[in-house]
């Protein structure tokens, strides 16, 4: 029987309460050597919804799994129809104050690195360098047969040409760039093959039910080992892909701090959880550190 991936987590009643004090975050960044681990919550202020927060997409949407995508041609057609439409909104998203604050902290030498669970590329657009994209990037497409990689805008053009007149109105856009469409709206949407070998194209992201490439995981583990502290921004840490790094830091005695409005699965390992919106919190922290934020993000 095919198992579904872990999509939800129910917090225990005895978790440490959140705080609105940013003092520990300010002190930790002042000391330097901070490794940032970001999740969907840092991009909500850019118009990209999260999975599990208030109004999160999992309340109405089950993400595509790797097993369904690779094993069912109808599922692939449904995915690409929805993703093609969603990309028009997703691809236009711009960094917010949270992304700009992380980039500013790095420019001032306070960070040892950035790991993101997001696939939107907004950290890089905001100016962060050397970002480890744990789950990949929707801006790239890869062939499952020959491994050829291509930019998403190229696929968007080909799909538009193959599906002239495809203009349904989506009910909502999800964190993975998937738009909510009915089967009737998907209709007979045409999927295009790899231009190199004719194989199946997949966004260069880690789907639910798919493993993060081991070399990428080990690179992240090395970053955690070398960090003075771990700062989690906007992640519920429900799935193991991010939680394992928090557990690793906790077991090593590396301080863990979390900024997330709701309780997380990693709270037991953290010195504190700041329950504030990320844009507000990080802008305040930057101000206390005397670090200005760029008004404009770098061009895409």
Would you say 147 is a known binding-site residue?
no
CA distance 101 to 126: 9
Would you say 220 is a known binding-site residue?
no
Would you say 234 is a known binding-site residue?
yes
Would you say 119 is a known binding-site residue?
yes
Would you say 42 is a known binding-site residue?
yes
Would you say 150 is a known binding-site residue?
no
List, as one string, the DSSP characters of 103-161. HHHHHTT-EEEEEE--SS-HHHHTT--S-EETTEEEEEEEETTT--EEEHHHHHHHHHH
Would you say 47 is a known binding-site residue?
yes
Would you say 117 is a known binding-site residue?
yes
Would you say 43 is a known binding-site residue?
yes
CA distance 116 to 131: 7
CB 78 within 8 A of CB 193: no
- Angle 254-247-226 (CA atoms, 0-180°, nearest 5)? 40
- Which residues have C-beta within 8 Å of that of residue 111, sequence separation ≥ 6? 32, 33, 34, 35, 36, 102, 105
Among 135, 153, 219, 269, the one annotated catalytic: 135
Would you say 40 is a known binding-site residue?
yes
CA distance 200 to 161: 18
Dihedral through CA 116, CA 117, CA 119, CA 123, nearest 10?
A: -20
Would you say 121 is a known binding-site residue?
no
Would you say 52 is a known binding-site residue?
yes
**In the chain, where does DSSP find H-type helix?**
23-31, 66-71, 73-90, 97-107, 122-125, 152-162, 183-186, 214-226, 240-252, 278-288
HSE-up (13 A, CA, CB side) for residue 220:
28
Would you say 50 is a known binding-site residue?
yes
Q: How far apart are the first and last CA of the chain?
A: 43
Would you say 41 is a known binding-site residue?
yes
153 part of the active site: no
Would you say 197 is a known binding-site residue?
yes
Binding-site residues for Zn(2+):
143, 146, 194, 197
Hey, which residues are catalytic here? 135
Binding-site residues:
39-59, 117-120, 143, 146, 194, 197, 234-236, 278
Binding-site residues for NAD(+):
39-59, 117-120, 234-236, 278
């Amino acid at each position: 029987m095919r198992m579904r991936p872990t999509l939800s987590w129910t917090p225990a009643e005895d978790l440490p309460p959140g705080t609105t004090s940013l003092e520990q975050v300010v002190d930790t960044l002042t000391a330097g050597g901070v490794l940032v681990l970001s999740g969907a919550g840092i991009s909500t202020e850019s118009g990209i919804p999260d999975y599990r927060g208030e109004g999160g997409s999992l309340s109405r949407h089950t993400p595509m799994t790797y097993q369904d995508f690779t094993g069912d041609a109808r599922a692939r057609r449904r995915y690409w129809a929805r993703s093609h439409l969603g990309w028009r909104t997703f691809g236009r998203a711009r960094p917010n104050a949270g992304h700009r604050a992380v980039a500013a902290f790095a420019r001032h030498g306070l960070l040892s690195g950035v790991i993101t669970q997001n696939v939107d590329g907004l950290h890089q657009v905001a100016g962060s360098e050397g970002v480890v994209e744990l789950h990949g990037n929707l801006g790239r497409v890869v062939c499952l047969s020959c491994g050829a990689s291509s930019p998403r805008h190229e696929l968007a053009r080909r799909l538009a040409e193959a599906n002239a007149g495809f203009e349904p109105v989506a009910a909502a856009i999800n964190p993975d760039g998937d738009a909510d469409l009915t089967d009737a709206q998907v209709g007979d949407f045409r999927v295009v093959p790899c231009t190199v070998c004719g194989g199946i194209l997949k966004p260069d992201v880690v789907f639910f039910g798919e493993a993060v490439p081991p070399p990428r995981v080990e690179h992240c583990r090395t970053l955690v080992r070398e960090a003075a502290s771990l700062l989690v921004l906007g992640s519920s840490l429900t799935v193991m892909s991010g939680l394992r790094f928090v557990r690793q830091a906790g077991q090593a005695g590396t301080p863990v701090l979390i900024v997330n409005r709701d309780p997380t699965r990693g709270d037991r390992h953290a010195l504190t959880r700041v329950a504030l919106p990320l844009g507000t919190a990080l802008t305040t922290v930057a101000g206390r550190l005397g670090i200005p934020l760029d008004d404009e993000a770098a061009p895409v």
